[in-house]
């Protein structure tokens, strides 16, 4: 299968307040990044805090449009879209972020949170209810709990609801920005298994951002390493782990504490 996502020369400059208030400091948060993600695969994105991963994610989806460069996702170029096409683009490409405690509206039942996007897409009430029940079931939340508010759920359950909400838009591409880093390992495993199942069942493509090198190495088909806004290494996951070219990548993976002794590609 071909590419679902192509990014060329993407840059994003932030203007941060300088120490002397007048002069704004220019932060090149993303600096000339190019990458491609094949259909139905996972690109893992790692890099130290502040290296620009989240900025890249938001720029790719035009949530914070890039200052230079181009993006094509599922054949759509968000820079050249009419309003209604942009709405379609927003459906096809979704983002799931880290904090399951902050991302849901505490005043809405989880069913209402999931239904919101469907309403915007013009689903009539009946169809909406049916679809919400389906989606909650898909992520493993009992439908009898659909009327409960987020406060009544654990972190892992909330993260499932957030995934259901993203899936409500029938996306083709999901950016997962640290989707499990606030969860315990036993719950994290549930979410990771769920994401891998959904990828197979719904033929999804992921950009998976995480600090956890073991997790990225476990689930990605390809890995990109970011440093100071640039991609310093990118390639097939097993190769990047076993034979990184870039010294920073090498240090990163060599220092990663490991649970098991075997290293793929090094046996």
Partner 1 sequence: MESTPRGDPAAVLRLEALTVSFTGNGGPIRAVRGVDITLQAASVHALVGESGAGKSVSAKAVLGLLPRSATCGGRILFHDTDLLSLPARSLRAIRGKRIAMVFQQPDKHLNPTMRVGSQVAEVLRYHNGIERREALLQARSLLDMVELNGREVLRSFPHELSGGMKQRVAIASAIACRPEVLIADEPTTALDATIQSQILALLDRVRRELGTAILFISHDLPLVRGFADDVSVLYAGRIVEQATSRELFSCAHHPYTDRLIAATPDPARRGERLAAIRGSVPDPQDVPPGCAFAPRCPMAADRCRVEVPLLRLSENADVSQRRSACHFAEQLVCEGLHNG
Ligand X SMILES: Nc1ncnc2c1ncn2[C@@H]1O[C@H](COP(=O)(O)OP(=O)(O)OP(=O)(O)O)[C@@H](O)[C@H]1O
Task: Give the residues lining the site for partner 1 (CB under 8 A).
Answer: 48-49, 154, 156, 184-190, 192-193, 196, 211-215, 217-219, 237-238, 241, 251-252, 255-264
14 binds, among Mg ion, ligand X, partner 1, none (CB under 5 to 8 A by kind): ligand X
Applying CB under 6 A, which of residues 19, 20, 49, 254 lies at the interface with ligand X? 49
Spatial separation of the C-alpha atoms in residues 216 and 116, rounded to whole Å: 31
Q: Which residue has 């054949």 as its token pair?
A: 75
Applying CB under 5 A, which of residues 41, 54, 159, 188 lies at the interface with Mg ion? 54
Residue 199 to residues 28, 83, 172, 194, 219: CA-CA distances in angstroms? 33, 29, 10, 8, 11
* Smallest gap from residue 19 Cβ to partner 1 (A): 10
Q: Which residue has 């505490």 as its token pair?
A: 106
Closest CA to 209 of 79, 30, 87, 28: 30
Binding mask 9-48 for ligand X (x = CB under 6 A): -----x-x----------x-x-----------------x-
Q: Judge contact between 73 and 51, C-beta under 8 A.
A: no
Q: Is residue 51 close enough to count as binding ligand X by CB under 6 A?
A: yes
Q: Judge contact between 69 and 33, C-beta under 8 A.
A: yes
Q: Is residue 55 close enough to count as binding ligand X by CB under 6 A?
A: yes
27 binds, among Mg ion, partner 1, ligand X, none (CB under 5 to 8 A by kind): ligand X
Q: Judge contact between 30 and 56, C-beta under 8 A.
A: yes
Per-residue burial over 127-145, b if 16 or more Cβ lie within 10 Å, else e, is ebbebbeebbebbbbeeee
* Smallest gap from residue 176 Cβ to Mg ion (A): 12
In what helix (H) or strand (E) does residue 93 lie, and over which residues does it extend?
A: strand 93-96
Please identify, using beta-carbon distances, which residue of 1 and 185 lies nearer to partner 1: 185
29 binds, among ligand X, partner 1, Mg ion, none (CB under 5 to 8 A by kind): ligand X
* Smallest gap from residue 29 Cβ to Mg ion (A): 10
**Residues with Cβ within 8 Å of residue 6, at least 6 apart in sequence:** 35, 36, 71, 72
* Smallest gap from residue 27 Cβ to ligand X (A): 5
20 binds, among Mg ion, ligand X, partner 1, none (CB under 5 to 8 A by kind): none
Please identify, using beta-carbon distances, which residue of 84 and 261 lies nearer to partner 1: 261
Closest CA to 128 of 137, 138, 139, 117: 117
87 binds, among Mg ion, partner 1, ligand X, none (CB under 5 to 8 A by kind): none
Task: By CB under 5 A, name the binding residues for Mg ion.
Answer: 54
Task: By CB under 6 A, name the binding residues for ligand X.
Answer: 14, 16, 27, 29, 47, 49-55
């Amino acid at each position: 299968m071909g590419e679902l996502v192509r990014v060329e020369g993407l840059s994003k400059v932030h203007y941060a307040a300088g120490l002397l208030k007048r002069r704004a400091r220019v932060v090149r948060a993303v600096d000339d990044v190019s990458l491609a993600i094949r259909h139905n695969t996972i690109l893992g994105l790692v890099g130290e805090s502040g290296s620009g991963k989240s900025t890249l994610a938001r720029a790719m989806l035009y949530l914070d449009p890039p200052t230079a460069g181009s993006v094509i996702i599922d054949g759509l170029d968000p820079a050249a879209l009419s309003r209604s096409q942009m709405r379609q683009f927003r459906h096809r490409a979704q983002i799931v972020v880290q904090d399951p405690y902050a991302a849901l509206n505490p005043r809405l039942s989880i069913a209402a949170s999931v239904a919101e996007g469907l309403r915007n897409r013009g689903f009539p009430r009946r169809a909406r209810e049916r679809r919400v029940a389906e989606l909650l079931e898909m992520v493993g939340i009992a439908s009898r709990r659909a009327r409960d508010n987020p406060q009544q759920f654990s972190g892992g359950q909330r993260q499932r609801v957030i995934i259901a909400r993203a899936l409500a838009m029938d996306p083709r591409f999901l950016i997962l920005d640290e989707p499990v880093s606030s969860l315990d390992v036993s719950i994290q495993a549930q979410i990771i298994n769920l994401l891998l199942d959904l990828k197979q069942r719904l033929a999804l493509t992921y950009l998976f951002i995480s600090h956890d090198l073991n997790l990225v190495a476990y689930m990605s088909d390809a890995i990109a390493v970011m440093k100071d806004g640039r991609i310093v290494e990118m390639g097939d996951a097993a190769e990047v782990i076993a034979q990184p070219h870039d010294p920073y990548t090498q240090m990163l993976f060599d220092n990663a504490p490991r649970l098991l002794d075997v290293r793929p590609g090094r046996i």
